[in-house]
Amino acid sequence: MSANYEVRGNVAVITLDNPPVNGLGHATRLGIAQGLEKANADANVKAIVITGAGKAFSGGADIKEFGSPKALAEPNLLSVILAIEASDKPTVAAIHTVCMGGGLELALGCNYRVVQAGTQIALPEVKLGLLPGAGGTQRLPRVLGAENALNIIVSGEPVPAEMLAKAPGQKLFDKLVDANVLDAAIAFAQEKADVRPAPLVRNLKAQHPQREAYFQFARNMVGGMSKNFPAPLRCVDAVEAAFTKKFDDGMRAERELFTALMFTPESKALRHLFMAERAASKIPDVPSDTPTREIKKVGVIGAGTMGGGISMNFLNAGIPVTILETKQEALDRGVATIRKNYEAQVKKGKLKQDKYDQRMALLSTTLNYADLKDSDLVIEAVFEELGVKEAVFKTLDEVVKPGAILASNTSTLDVNKIAAFTKRPQDVVGMHFFSPANVMKLLEVVRGEKTAKDVLATVMQIGKKIKKTCVVSGVCDGFIGNRMIEQYSRQAGFLLDEGASPEQVDKAIEKFGFAMGPFRMGDLAGNDIGWAIRKRRSVEKPGMRYSKTADLLCEIGRYGQKTGAGWYDYVPGKRDAIPSPVVTEMIDKHRASLGITPRKISDEEIVQRLVFSLVNEGAKIVEEGIAARASDIDMVYLTGYGFPMHRGGPMQYADEVGLFNVAAAMKRFAKNPNDDAEFWQPAPLLAKLAAEGKTFS
Ligand code: 3HC
Ligand code: NAI
């Protein structure tokens, strides 16, 4: 049983006890129901207090139970709340630390609520693509009014209890205490033990003087902000039902909307994301209690595009940074860029002047390696050439104190080779940030063959501190993200060869949900970057097939926005991508030289070929152990490559489509003479799962 029962004086105390956050799983629900029965049967008990053990009142329904028969098993949450409401003896919720989702709904079923200051109150179901399904949309408006309740339900954001306790006319909390909430709730229960009838939220009336106009306004606001996600608008529908229907009818309306949302791909994607995010922070062979090294001072080598952004992450977290360069001008340029970025934030009101001053005061610069000798972590972000990295790491090995972590931000080079330049390969790791490094959430933590476990644990910890989503990758060319994007880019090229235009490809994948298609993205990042990689590839993997259109584009100097022309034309000073007749002619000529007759390609084929190319390479990455789990790949794509959130990542999307269907499509693509038949053989892991009717997750 995951709820404890005891009697203190004449008050029964039911304590939810399901670590880590007292999720309302089946055993906990049963424990509460049985506690209520006991308390009601005990003549000595005059009132009942419900509270939570450990670090939460309750984080809500047990997310880990979703989709399993246990989630629906009686007593379900609605039955438990009904039992609380039906109790002969007054019930008091003693709320502390975290009270969310079903936890708040449970508290709203009690007659009274005593809350401890500092408690985070939320109905975060919308973040899982759901709405509160155990009365939250019906009861919260009755105690907080339409505006406050709707804000909480539609945003899913936590609100401090003291703020709500001070809201005019609120009936959510009966008492706010600074500490010892359980004692306060017991005393409160004793006070109210004989009050009859005890108040019930369901008996309050939900009223709004301009209901229709208000909810129309809310729909307009919410609809505009919730593209691709159905839940926020359904939240508005459910809350409005509290104002238009009798309580029980409103509850039924809420239930229907909740159940429908539970089966949407968007909700599945968001629930997957919640679990994937937490799973990514765990490394199978590195226990969570692995001791970590202390990181109090950071060195960054190179003040270019990446070095500056990387430094800002640590400054933002209050960690001093020293940047090293070879020339004073490069240092000055780098610091000026950091300053400019912060000043822009101050101008927009996103950063206070004193915070800006504090951050800049933590930054120092040097041309001398000796100034890095006391650093706990040094991150190298110099030119992407192995020889340059070798010189840097050999010098770091000589100068920096023992036990310091030496990291490389390389995007393509072999971290094992870099580690071998030092006499301490166990201390070397890849920290692959994404550009702009101060903005992008993703940090690929590249584990070398010899990287020590405590180094990994430390980097994961510091990554979290600087607010990154860390995903561990083994060493391979391109690590997880770039290795996959190469296949995606190859497909984009083949599509042009076969008859699609850059704008058709971009539009199709943008409609699927990507913020930017591959060609607009190429123009933004610079087409010359891919060109350099392909040149290297032609030496390393001479047989690899790819479309030459991107090379031809670079040969005529169309690198993208920075040269005023790329796959598209650009008007100086503007970023609008204008289809280019020059590019159309170039593609047509190239196609003709290949002897390909252009064909009409459907948007569906475009999306499938682009997305399934990610999936097939992703499956190989999981099988090779480069990623620990398929959901890590989804995290990489959601946080680093603009994969649409509502699809849950490439691997989750493939699960949703069905791996059998995905493999069948790949076999079809393999028959296309203008594509790469070898690549389209389903990866063995994918083929196996498809044959067994299983999914990646
Ligand atoms: N059920 C089960 N496990 C949960 C959980 C929940 N509702 N909420 C959090 N957890 C687990 C996490 O999976 C994680 O487990 P792990 O250690 O095995 O990885 C652990 O608790 C700690 O979670 P965090 O890393 O997120 O810890 P934090 O301290 O940063 O945050 C929290 C705690 C604020 C509770 C945060 O986890 C959170 O926001 N949880 C989501 C709560 C939520 O969405 N509740 C609504 C559920 S849906 C619902 O109630 C439906 C109802 O209306 C019918
Ligand atoms: P950049 O060219 O903007 O900056 C490199 C900086 O390093 C320059 O300021 C240069 O003066 C300095 N430098 C060169 N040799 C040095 C040395 N021996 N000692 C000290 N400083 C030296 O390059 P960028 O884009 O910042 O890339 C740096 C690293 O980050 C590369 O390894 C790159 O592959 C990687 N990377 C780049 C990304 C990007 O989008 N630009 C994304 C992720 C990784």
Residues 469 and 541 in one domain: no
pLDDT value of residue 425: 98
- Please, what is the angle between helix 211-225 and helix 146-155, to 10°? 20
Which ligand is closest in space to the CA of residue 436?
A: 2
407 and 556 share one domain: no
Q: Are 406 and 488 members of one domain?
A: no
pLDDT digit string, tens, across residues 326-364: 999 999 999 999 999 999 999 999 999 999 999 999 999
Q: Which of 244, 262, 280 is the last residue of a domain?
A: 262
Catalytic site residue 605?
A: no
pLDDT in tens, 180-214: 999 999 999 999 999 999 999 999 999 999 999 99
pLDDT digits (tens, 9 = 90+) for 159-174: 999 999 999 999 999 9
pLDDT the model gives residue 516: 94
In this structure, are 50 and 145 located in the same domain? Answer: yes
| Probe target for ligand 2 pocket from 365, 380, 382, 392, with the most ligand atoms within 8 Å of CB | 382
Give, in degrees to the nearest 5, the angle at Cα 309 between 307 and 311: 65
CB 100 within 8 A of CB 93: no
* pLDDT value at residue 72: 86
Query: What secondary structure letter does DSSP report for 63?
Result: G
**Would you give the DSSP letter of residue 625?**
T
Q: Report pLDDT for 573.
A: 86
Q: What is the CATH number of the domain that holds 335?
A: 3.40.50.720
Q: Are residues 468 and 489 in the same domain?
A: no
Per residue in 214-272, pLDDT (tens digit) is 999 999 999 998 989 999 999 999 999 999 999 999 999 999 999 999 999 999 999 99
Q: What is the SS3 assignment for 642? A: coil
Over the stretch 555-580, which tens digit does the pLDDT of each residue have? 999 999 999 999 999 999 888 999 99
Please check the confidence at residue 542 and state whether its pLDDT lies above 80.
Answer: no
Ligand nearest to the CA of 65: 1
Residue 93 near residue 87 (C-beta atoms within 8 A): no
One domain, residues 118 and 150: yes
Whole-model pTM? 0.93
Choice among 37, 65, 74, 125 that is catalytic: 125
Residue to probe by mutation, ligand 2, list 300, 301, 306, 333, most atoms within 8 Å of CB: 306
Q: Is 689 exposed, middle or buried (0-12, 13-18, 19+ CB in 10 A)?
A: buried
Identify whether 696 is part of a domain. no
Is residue 613 in a domain? yes
Q: Give the ipTM.
A: 0.95
Averaged confidence pLDDT in the chain: 96
How many domains is the chain partitioned into structurally? 3
pLDDT band at 36 (very low <50, low <70, confident <90, very high): very high
Residues 622 and 653: their CA atoms lie apart, in Å, by 16
Distance CA(125)–CA(286), nearest Å, equals 32
The pLDDT of 93-103, averaged and rounded, is 98
* DSSP conformation class of 433: E
**485 and 337 part of one domain:** no
Contact, 11 vs 48, CB < 8 A? Answer: yes
Q: What is the pLDDT of residue 282?
A: 96
Site residues for ligand 1, CB cut-off 6 Å = 20-21, 23, 59-64, 77, 98, 100-102, 105, 124-125, 128, 132-134, 136, 278
Mean of the pLDDT values across residues 579-598? 96
Question: In this structure, is residue 275 part of a structural domain?
Answer: no
Percent of the chain with pLDDT strictly greater than 90: 95
| Cα 571 to ligand 2 centre (Å) | 29
- 395 with 510, same domain: the answer is no
User: What is the DSSP annotation of 140-203?
Assistant: HHHHH-HHHHHHHHHH---EEHHHHHTSTT--S-SEEESS-HHHHHHHHHHHHTT-SSPP-GGG
Assess whether 608 and 646 both reside in one domain: yes
Contact partners, residue 101, CB within 8 Å, separation at least 6: 58, 59, 60, 61, 122, 123, 124, 125, 132, 136
**pLDDT bucket at 534, cuts 50 / 70 / 90:** confident
Residue 646 vs residues 7, 128, 265, 274, 642: alpha-carbon distances, Å: 47, 10, 8, 12, 11
Minimum-distance ligand 1 atom for the alpha carbon of 275: 13
Domain-located, residue 278 = no
Domain that holds residue 588: 481-691
Residue 67, pLDDT score: 81
Q: What confidence score (pLDDT) does residue 536 get?
A: 81
Closest-CA residue to 637 (of 479, 480, 439, 520): 480
Q: Tell me if 45 sits within 8 A of 12, measured CB to CB.
A: yes
Whether 116 is in a domain gets the answer: yes
CA 690 / ligand 1 centre spacing (Å)? 31
pLDDT, residue 14, reads 98
- The reported pLDDT for the residue numbered 533 is 83
Residue 5 is encoded by which pair of tokens? 């029962």
Q: Tell me, yes or no, whether 285 lies in a domain.
A: no
Span from the CA of 123 to the centroid of ligand 1 (angstroms)? 12
What is the predicted pLDDT for the residue at 301? 98
Instruction: Please state, in angstroms and rounded to a whole number, the distance separating the CA atoms of residues 570 and 121.
Output: 48
Q: How is residue 214 written in tokens? A: 């208000």
Give dist(CA 318, CA 297) in Å, integer. 10
What's the pLDDT score for residue 428? Answer: 98
Does residue 290 sit within a domain?
A: no
Residues 6+ apart with CB under 8 A from 341: 308, 312, 438
State which amino acid sits at residue 676. Answer: D
Instruction: Kindly name the residue from 37, 65, 105, 325 that is annotated as catalytic.
Output: 105
Pair (465, 538) in one structural domain: no
Half-sphere exposure of 437 (CA within 13 A, CB side): 28
Local confidence band at 544 (pLDDT 50, 70, 90 cut-offs): confident
Does 466 share its domain with 501?
no
Closest CA to 680 of 665, 692, 693: 665
pLDDT digits (tens, 9 = 90+) for 657-667: 999 999 999 99
pLDDT of residue 114: 98
* pLDDT 10s digits, 135-152: 999 999 999 999 999 999
Q: Label residue 535 by pLDDT band (50, 70, 90).
A: confident
* Pocket-testing residue among 16, 21, 464, ligand 1, by greatest number of atoms within 8 A of Cβ: 21
Among 408, 438, 473, give the residue marking a domain's end.
473
Q: Which two tokens stand for residue 620?
A: 């190989």
Statement: residue 537 has pLDDT above 80: no
Q: 280 lies in a domain?
A: no
Ligand nearest to the CA of 439: 2
Q: Which ligand is nearest to the CA of 368?
A: 2
Nearest Cα residue to atom 32 of ligand 1: 59
Q: Which of 473, 501, 521 delimits the end of a domain? A: 473
147 belongs to the catalytic site = no
Do residue 205 and residue 323 come from a single domain? no
Check if 301 has its Cβ closer than 6 Å to any atom of ligand 2: yes
Q: What is the DSSP string of 467-494?
A: T-EEEEEESSTTHHHHHHHHHHHHHHHH
The share of the chain scoring above pLDDT 70, in percent, equals 100
CA of 632 from ligand 1 middle (Å) equals: 19
